[in-house]
Amino acid sequence: MRGTGGRQPRERSERIRLTESPGRRGSPEAKRGGIFTNMEQSTLLIVKPDAVRRGLTGEVLRRVEAKGLRIDEMRMMRIDTALAERHYAEHQDKPFFAELVGFISSGDVVVARLTGEQAVPVLRTLMGPTDPAQAPPGTIRGDFGTVITENLVHGSDSPESAERELALFFS
Ligand SMILES: Nc1nc2c(ncn2[C@@H]2O[C@H](COP(=O)(O)OP(=O)(O)OP(=O)(O)O)[C@@H](O)[C@H]2O)c(=O)[nH]1
Ligand SMILES: [Mg+2]
């Protein structure tokens, strides 16, 4: 009996540790158990004016969907200067701010709310680094651009940014 009595607490603690492991969140067992929230999040995608002008909207959306992100809401629009300044407010003191605002409002864009597991970092990985000249092949920026301003896509850089930016475009 001593042996059995000694095993029960250990099994219980192992079970707790395992089911609380981040690696098991979203797993079928975790979903059945109902004690986990999944890791779905939403993020803002903007297909920038250069990509729209070049007919790359479909290619961008194809990659997003093929990766497994869901397009929850989407529309084509023109971003005016006031909205561009709000969207990129964190860069207002940067030397490239005027160019950035001028560019993003220079033509039609497609804005989309994307949702899925880890949507924020997943989209950033699909996009590649900010400067297309440095971005590796296989990423959107790496495959289609060379100029830092004309870098094809915007994606929120954190869940907090996503919340703020989505409220600007979908509310
Ligand atoms: N000319 C110039 N533009 C820059 C530079 N750094 C960033 N930008 C532009 O400003 C935008 C916003 O910069 P970041 O937010 O730091 O980069 P990012 O998050 O990869 O790009 P976004 O998804 O558009 O926000 C970039 O997409 C670039 O177009 C720079 O050093 N020079
Ligand atoms: Mg950014």
The minimum-distance atom of ligand 1 relative to the CA of 99 is 1
Q: What pLDDT score was predicted for residue 161? A: 98
Q: Which residue's CA lies nearest to atom 27 of ligand 1?
A: 130
Q: Report DSSP state, residue 104.
A: H
The one catalytic residue in 41, 113, 154, 162 is 154
Neighbouring C-beta atoms of residue 151, cutoff 10 Å = 24
> How confident is the prediction along the chain (171 residues), in pLDDT tens digits per residue?
444 444 444 444 433 333 334 444 555 555 555 555 568 999 999 999 999 999 999 999 999 999 999 999 999 999 999 999 999 999 999 999 999 999 999 999 999 999 999 999 999 999 999 999 999 999 999 999 999 999 999 999 999 999 999 999 998
Q: Which residue's CA lies nearest to atom 25 of ligand 1?
A: 154
